[in-house]
Structure 1
Amino acid sequence: MKKQRPVNLELTSISFPATAISSILHRISGVIMLVALGMLIWALATSLQSAEGFAMVHDLFTSFIAKFIAWGILTALGYHVLAGVRHMCMDMGYFEELNSGRVSAKAVFVLAILLSVLAGVWLW
């Protein structure tokens, strides 16, 4: 049976609600943290092997690019924690209505931006 309905696959023309964006960003931040975990474990293992390894990791992490990557990791972590708390509150029965879900998603965005700025100030 062939459905005769229009299909819009152009994502730039679709307007996602704040709750959908929050959920998508929560998943993306989880993937970023998973990748970052591998890099951070390598840095820890290398720095604990010898004094030369520690000096190499220290020199690597003091560059601008490494600080920018660390800022991205901290931003992803902050957002993931905030969105995770929001999801846990929703699992407990809070913010389940449409309006309160939108407000809580927007609050997570604002708090995540604040945490991102604080992480940038702390790193630089």
Structure 2
Amino acid sequence: MANVTNNRPLSPHLQIYKPIPTMVMSIVHRITGGALYVGTLLVAWWLVAAASGPAYYEWANWVMGTWIGRLVLIGYTWALVHHMLGGLRHFMWDLGHGFDKHFTTKLAKAQPVVSICLTVLIWAIALLVR
């Protein structure tokens, strides 16, 4: 329903607002939180496979070793790192720091870059240690 005098909506929604970095990171934070539920089910499945015996454990490792399995694991790692960085950002705000508009925008722009770099670093270390 529109405000007749100014032809504006009574209740703004996402189609009205211009996406800004902090808004996008808030949405991505919620999406990664949801993705972590699914990823945690995969971790639980892997633990059940490990407890079920060598044959089932080997099959679970084979599934996660395929290119699709690796892609899922890399995505889970990224979601975990990205969500953690968002949580640290919120923790900083809970402590009363970092509310300057320009600082929050820089932090929001840096978050995806840092999360991707940390994910690549984690996987590089994991593959080197392996």
TM-score where L is the length of structure 1: 0.85
For the aligned residue pairs, the C-alpha RMSD in angstroms reads 2.4
Contact 1:71 1:119 in 2 (8 A): no
1:26 corresponds to: 29
Distance in 2, matches of 1:95 and 1:9, equals: 26
1:41 corresponds to: 44
Tell me the CA shift for residue 72 of structure 1: 0.2
Corresponding position: 1:64 with 2:64: no
Tell me the CA shift for residue 2 of structure 1: 5.8
Greater relative contact order (Cα 8 A, min sep 6): structure 1 or 2?
Answer: 1
Contact 2:2 2:8 in 1 (8 A): no
Question: What do residues 71-118 of structure 1 show as CA deviations (whole Å, max 9, x unaligned)?
Answer: 000000010111110110011111112111111212222211212332
SS in structure 2 of the partner of residue 35 of structure 1: helix
Structure 2, unpaired ranges of 5+:
none
1:114 corresponds to: 117
2:99 corresponds to: 96
1:3 corresponds to: 3
SS in structure 2 of the partner of residue 96 of structure 1: coil
What percent of counterpart residues are identical?
24
Moved over 2 A (4+): 1-11, 116-124
Contact 1:95 1:104 in 2 (8 A): no
